[in-house]
């Protein structure tokens, strides 16, 4: 979270300064980056001898997770040009003497603390991630199988009318139809007062708990391709339900969720480490608060 905040702030200030100039002619700057092909080097060019590094490029693209090499030539050139502009302005700012101001020193101290914290947290996270064994991941899966269960789902259509007599008349029409599903869709468009009537009563996939009990119970008791032979009364009126398909409850396989579990264990252990570390540090620290 801290890292993302730092990158967001840096990138936002970076773009404000450079984006308006990104499309201008850069013929007076010697950029040595080869943006027309994949670059395995950590250096994409130089500006007055100062390197344009892979890390700087990754800071721009990292939040979107876009590899630099996957971009087309024009976009690569634009990104490098933006970095060139930033370096030129930064070099000018440094020459102006801002490094000697108290404001610069104060902000540099904060930046150093944030960078140190980010690197340290990354190192601790990597240690914890490596320490998590396959047996530990498997044990978590066995103990928490409920977290990886997918509930039963139904795919249905319905026709909603105001009276029981209307519902019974529709059921009779369906019972005499050669193609019950086609007739159901037709009647839903013509007679249903519900919002799904325009789409033939289509409700898509849903879990039973999303519907009122009377509706869910009736739909769950149907077989695929069946419709209710008696009207289903709910607080909304009278329903005729057609079941298009159903999926039973299922359990995600261990192989499918093991990476997710490892990430969860890593996050939990990192959070616990941070809480314990802060608690220990507070005990021996001299802290003065002025509000």
Return d(Cα 34, Cα 26) in angstroms, integer: 15
187 closest CA partner among 167, 204, 203, 206:
167
| 287, HSE (Cβ side, Cα atoms, 13 Å) | 9
Residue 257 near residue 141, CB atoms below 8 Å:
yes
Domain boundary (62, 77, 96) is at 96
Residue 214: CATH number of its domain: 3.10.50.40
Return d(Cα 246, Cα 71) in angstroms, integer: 43
68 closest CA partner among 32, 43, 93:
43
* Inter-helix orientation angle 73-95/54-61, to 10°: 110
Let me know if residue 66 belongs to a domain: yes
Which regions in the chain score pLDDT beneath 50? 1-40
Q: Residue 233's pLDDT is what? A: 98
Let me know if residue 34 belongs to a domain: yes
Start-to-end Cα distance in the chain: 26
Let me know if residue 81 belongs to a domain: yes
Return d(Cα 4, Cα 18) in angstroms, integer: 21
Let me know if residue 110 belongs to a domain: no
* DSSP structure string for 143-180: HTGGGGEEPPEEEEEEEEESSHHHHHHHHHHHHT-SSH
Residues 78 and 164 in one domain: no
Domain boundary (50, 68, 96) is at 96
Domain that holds residue 48: 2-96
Q: Residue 62's pLDDT is what? A: 72
Let me know if residue 31 belongs to a domain: yes
Close Cβ partners of 199 (under 8 Å, ≥ 6 residues apart): none
Return d(Cα 89, Cα 84) in angstroms, integer: 9
* H or E, element range at 218: helix 213-220
Let me know if residue 27 belongs to a domain: yes
76 closest CA partner among 33, 42, 24:
33
Q: Residue 70's pLDDT is what? A: 85
Domain boundary (96, 113, 128) is at 96
* DSSP structure string for 35-65: TTS---SSEEEEETTEEEEHHHHHHHHGGGT
Let me know if residue 202 belongs to a domain: yes
Residue 60 token pair: 């721009």
Count of structural domains within the chain = 2
Residues 6 and 92 in one domain: yes
pTM confidence score: 0.59
Let me know if residue 289 belongs to a domain: no
């Amino acid at each position: 979270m801290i890292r993302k905040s730092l990158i967001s702030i840096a990138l936002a200030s970076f773009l404000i300064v450079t984006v308006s100039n990104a499309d201008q002619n850069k013929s007076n700057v010697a950029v040595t980056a080869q943006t027309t092909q994949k670059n395995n080097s950590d250096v994409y060019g130089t500006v007055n001898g100062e390197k344009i590094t892979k890390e700087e490029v990754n800071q721009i693209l990292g939040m979107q997770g876009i590899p630099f090499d996957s971009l087309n030539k024009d976009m690569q050139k634009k990104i490098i040009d933006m970095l060139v502009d930033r370096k030129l302005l930064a070099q000018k700012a440094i020459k102006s003497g801002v490094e000697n101001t108290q404001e610069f020193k104060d902000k540099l101290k904060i930046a150093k603390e944030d960078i140190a914290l980010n690197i340290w947290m990354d190192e601790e996270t990597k240690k914890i991630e490596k320490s998590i064994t396959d047996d530990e991941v498997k044990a978590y899966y066995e103990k928490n199988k409920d977290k990886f269960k997918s509930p039963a789902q139904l795919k249905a259509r319905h026709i909603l009318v105001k009276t029981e007599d209307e519902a019974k008349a529709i059921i009779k029409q369906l019972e005499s139809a050669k193609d019950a599903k086609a007739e159901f869709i037709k009647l839903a468009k013509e007679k249903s007062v519900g919002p799904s009537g325009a789409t033939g009563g289509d409700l898509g996939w849903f879990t039973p708990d999303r519907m009122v009990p009377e509706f869910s119970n009736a739909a769950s008791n149907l077989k695929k391709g069946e419709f209710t032979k008696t009207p289903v009364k709910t607080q909304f009126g009278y329903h005729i339900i057609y079941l298009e398909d159903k999926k039973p409850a299922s359990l995600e396989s261990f192989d499918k969720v093991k990476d997710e579990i490892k990430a969860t264990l890593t996050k939990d252990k990192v959070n616990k480490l941070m809480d314990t570390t802060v608690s220990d540090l507070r005990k021996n620290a001299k802290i003065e608060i002025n509000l």
